[in-house]
Amino acid sequence: MTDTTDPEAFYDEYGEREWDRLERDFFHRLEWEGTVEYLDRYLPESGHVLDVGGAAGRYTVWLAEQGYDVTLVDLSGEQLDIAREQVGERGLGDRVTVEKGDVRDLAFDADEFDATLCLGGPVSHVVDEAERETAVAELRRVTRPGGPVFVSVMGLLSAVVNTVDHTGRERFDGSAADYPILPQLVDTGDYTGELCAEHGVEPVMADCHFFRADELESLLESGGLAVETLAALEGVASTRRDEFDGLGDDRRRVVREVNDALREDRSVVDLSSHMLAVARVP
């Protein structure tokens, strides 16, 4: 039986759903739109960009279409195959290199990239604290001085609030089954197969460390990066998730506008399903 709590195995099995995820619905598009906004704002005008943990290549394709040269690395062979297919279909092969790689041990020279992306949660899937520090050191090492490093992770408060909100509601019986793990999740931030087994809960995702905003900032700064801003991606929408597509365009527009206005509010960042740090190599 495949151990789908292992990130590599999980994303191999997840397949095409990872490519589709960022356009699946209004809620998931908020992550995409917020991230692209900050990429537009902070990326250099041109250069070679590393996309670490880029999975099926959503951001890699976007970067290549903007004229960047891109190297995509990921643990999952299945995701890399999908990325190659998407890149090939768009005729972007001359701009994109796709290869297997691990954020904790990047096979590149120091200062090789003009900017580095680590988006959607690759650092969250590094559960061991010392290995997370190694991962950040690697992101810094391969990025040239002055280059931006973009890191987004999964937020702890959002995971806890949504599980509490779903607990006891018939509609959410499957996701609410996670509630016995909540005290330990709050204490450590770690969601693992071992924790689920201890409480008789069926794992629904790969092993993961969920972050608080202060923790993310501290991790990056201790790794030698200068954090310029933290941003909420799903932000104020994080406690509602899948119910937005039933709303009219005018109401979704208001949610988007409010989310944009509060994107860098520290409380909203801390509550967001994904939070993005924009940092720079000094």
Query: Average model confidence (pLDDT) for the chain?
Result: 93
Comparing 70-79, 179-188, 271-280, the range with the smallest average pLDDT is 179-188
In tens, the pLDDT along 15-62 reads 999 999 999 999 999 999 999 999 999 999 999 999 999 999 999 999
Q: Judge residue 121's burial from the number of C-beta atoms within 10 Å of its C-beta, 0-12 exposed, 13-18 middle, 19 or more buried.
A: buried
Using H for helix, E for strand and C for coil, what is the string for the chain? CCCCCCHHHHHHHHCHHHHHHCCCCHHHHHHHHHHHHHHHHHCCCCCEEEEECCCCCHHHHHHHHCCCEEEEEECCHHHHHHHHHHHHHCCCCCCEEEEECECCECCCCCCCECEEEECCCCCCCCCCHHHHHHHHHHHHHCECCCCEEEEEEEEHHHHHHHHHHHCCCHHHHHHHCCHHHHHHHHHHCEECHHHHHHCCCCCCCCCEECECHHHHHHHHHHCCCEEEEEEECCHHHCCCHHHHHHCCHHHHHHHHHHHHHCCCCHHHHHHCCEEEEEEECC
Per-residue confidence (pLDDT) for residue 4, from 0 to 100: 58
- Quickly state the pLDDT bin for 201 (edges 50, 70, 90): confident
In this model, does residue 208 exceed pLDDT 70?
A: yes
In this model, does residue 67 exceed pLDDT 50?
A: yes
